[in-house]
Amino acid sequence: MNKLVTTLAATTLGTATVVAAVGLTTPATTTPSASLAAAPYGPAPTPPQPTVVPASTQRPDVTTPPPSPTFTLPTVERPTITIPTIRRPSIQATTPSPSPTPTPTPTPGTPVKPGPSAAPACSGVLVKPTDNAADVVDSTPAGGTICFAAGLHRIDRPLRPKAKQTLGSDQGAVLTGSVPLTGWTANGGDWVVKDVLPEPYRQIGQCEDNVTNICHLREQVFVDGKHLKRVASREQVVPGTFYGDYEHNAVWIGDNPAGRAVEMSKTPTAIDGGQTGVTVRGLTIEHFASAPQAGAVVLSGGWHVFANDIRWNHAVGAMLVNADGATLERNLIRFNGQLGVGQYSTTNGTIADNQVSGNNTDGFWIADWESGGIKTTWSNGGSVRGNLIKANLGVGLWSDAYDDGRTFSDNRIVDNAADGIRYEIGRNGVIENNTITGNGLGTGRGSGRSLWDGGGINVNTSSNVTVRNNTVADNVNGISIQSRTRGNGPWGLNLLRDVVVTGNKVTMKVGTAATGMVQNSGAAIPTGEVVLKGNNYTLDSLTADRFQKFGQWFSATEWQKAGFDTESQFTTG
């Protein structure tokens, strides 16, 4: 990321305080205006404490730009991501929406197909679409079960379950944070409705478009369930888009709303953590106006969240926060505005067998600001395993900011716009048995195609990391090992040390794809502390420069003569 020091800025969602890392300084409270200018920045607050909610680290500002090879980079096609229209109940509907296709519960040792399993039958306190769900949850004792009936449940304040409660549905219930927009007026070929936007709120985050910074704005608009793209001015409004004019409190759309269901996300959180041992199952959770870095569903310790469809929320789909021993498994987590899954300050959390796809629909920075599939920070132990992480506009799977003892295994990580896996300023990581293909070809602002910009796997200034038995093919680069100036952390100076890359199958045949090491400053890596051995490389040519160490390029033969991959195999094909 682009700053050496992370700082934290607090914003309140309901009764839950979210502390968001926004770089070196903290944005002041601002009023959104028609110009949508970036928020001003003020003094930096105190460093993060162990109890705050997710911090993101930034890449350092480097006094001297990192070395780059002297060749011309070819144009690389950005992957096309198709976002389908999702079917859902109408505003008046009382019949159930289609439940996700069930996947049978596997027997031990059987490979799992990522995605939701069938939710079990629900027996408990019934919540109808006409009921106030938050009131029902509040009045149900700890350990009780709340069953949502079929249909569309409008959630006007976050649900805060008590310890060991179960929130579930076996009927295809939809929890939505949106409200209907009515009273439209035609105006100059567009349509406008007034007095529907919220009071001013703090704007945080980093956007792909860092001029208008419209990703900061949380409200989403949907026509018949289809997500409209936000634009930065009235003049840009066309069918399929909307403009929020916060100065005049008006929403403009380019689609005729007559006879159609037009909705705007409003409630920030669907289900908020705090108590332990909660189960959430069988629900569709959509259209929540979550703040950047905040989840539509926030898990706490011992939670079990499974068989849900979490989609089309402004920021993070599901967030594990101080969620020791929690499990997030067999869910569809898709088309969320910033990130599919986040995890912060959690010991032995499990993220398994989910399908995490198509996230970052609201324009957050693709290359380097917590957009994409899954990101974990400040966590110990636990695993991310068996997930399908596909076509996210960002990093597929990212460990950042002082993760310790994390295992990423048996995931399929496909066609994500930035790195497939990034392990950044952490330690004691294991990255094994993953299939990582077609990643890193869709980055935009501030990124290119060199090893500095990542690869199928990117180990960045981390120590004691093992990368083994992965299949890494047709990514922007193979395996990128980076030594950057990242300052001090809880274990002292952040350094690249004791990295072992072994038993991997790496294919590099197109563009400038390479494997190797880069370093921008600081002491040289001592001999033996980065080990590559026993790998199998498939190349376009054995004479092509596909390997790099600190700016020097090597063919396969030269790479082995330099002492790397001496026990590895190199073939063409």
**What pLDDT, in 10s, does the model give residues 443-499?**
989 888 999 998 999 999 999 999 999 999 999 999 999 999 888 899 988 989 999
Determine the 3-state secondary structure of 483 from DSSP: strand
Task: Please compute the mean of the pLDDT values over residues 91-103 and round it to a whole number.
Answer: 36
φ, ψ at 234 (rounded to 5°): -60, -35
What CA dihedral angle connects 482, 488, 491 and 492, to 10 degrees? 100
Task: Please compute the mean of the pLDDT values over residues 263-273 and round it to a whole number.
Answer: 98
Provide the mean pLDDT of the chain. Answer: 84
**CB-based contact 148:138 (threshold 8 Å):** no
Confidence of residue 329 (pLDDT cuts 50, 70, 90): very high
pLDDT for the residue 35: 29
φ, ψ at 166 (rounded to 5°): -120, 130
Task: Please compute the mean of the pLDDT values over residues 136-151 and round it to a whole number.
Answer: 98
Domain ranges within the chain, ordered by starting residue: 89-327, 365-572
- CB-based contacts of 513: which residues, under 8 Å, 6+ apart? 455, 474, 475, 476, 477, 478, 546
State pLDDT tens for residues 492-518.
889 899 999 999 999 999 889 999 999
Task: Please compute the mean of the pLDDT values over residues 388-395 and round it to a whole number.
Answer: 98
Hey, what are 131's tokens?
């009921």
Determine the 3-state secondary structure of 297 from DSSP: strand
> Which range, of 18-27, 93-102, 232-241, averages the lowest pLDDT?
18-27
pLDDT for the residue 528: 66
**CB-based contact 349:375 (threshold 8 Å):** no
**CB-based contact 363:339 (threshold 8 Å):** no
pLDDT at 572 exceeding the cut of 90: yes
pLDDT for the residue 522: 67
pLDDT at 23 exceeding the cut of 60: no
pLDDT at 46 exceeding the cut of 50: no
Confidence of residue 182 (pLDDT cuts 50, 70, 90): very high
State pLDDT tens for residues 1-14.
433 223 223 333 33
pLDDT for the residue 510: 87
What proportion of the chain, given as a percentage, has pLDDT over 90?
73
**CB-based contact 479:455 (threshold 8 Å):** yes
Confidence of residue 436 (pLDDT cuts 50, 70, 90): very high
- Please state, in angstroms and rounded to a whole number, the distance separating the CA atoms of residues 333 and 297: 11
Q: Any bridge partners for residue 298, and if so which? A: 319
pLDDT at 91 exceeding the cut of 90: no
pLDDT at 77 exceeding the cut of 60: no
Instruction: Please state whether 84 falls in left (phi above 0), alpha (psi between -120 and 50) or beta.
Output: beta
pLDDT for the residue 571: 97
Hey, what are 360's tokens?
């970052």
Hey, what are 527's tokens?
């001999």
Q: In what order do the strands lie in the sheet with 178-180?
A: 178-180, 262-265, 221-223, 226-227
Hey, what are 50's tokens?
């162990």
> Which range, of 72-76, 113-117, 445-449, averages the lowest pLDDT?
72-76
| CA atoms within 13 A of residue 143's CA, in its CB half-sphere | 0
* Residue labelled with tokens 């949850």: 137
**CB-based contact 323:297 (threshold 8 Å):** no
pLDDT for the residue 116: 72
The amino acid occupying position 566 is: T
- Please state, in angstroms and rounded to a whole number, the distance separating the CA atoms of residues 323 and 477: 34
- CB-based contacts of 142: which residues, under 8 Å, 6+ apart? 162, 163, 164, 165, 275
pLDDT at 424 exceeding the cut of 90: yes
> Which range, of 19-23, 148-152, 442-446, 528-532, averages the lowest pLDDT?
19-23
Task: Please compute the mean of the pLDDT values over residues 296-308 and round it to a whole number.
Answer: 99
Neighbours of 91 (CB within 10 A): 15
pLDDT at 57 exceeding the cut of 50: no
- Please state, in angstroms and rounded to a whole number, the distance separating the CA atoms of residues 433 and 304: 25
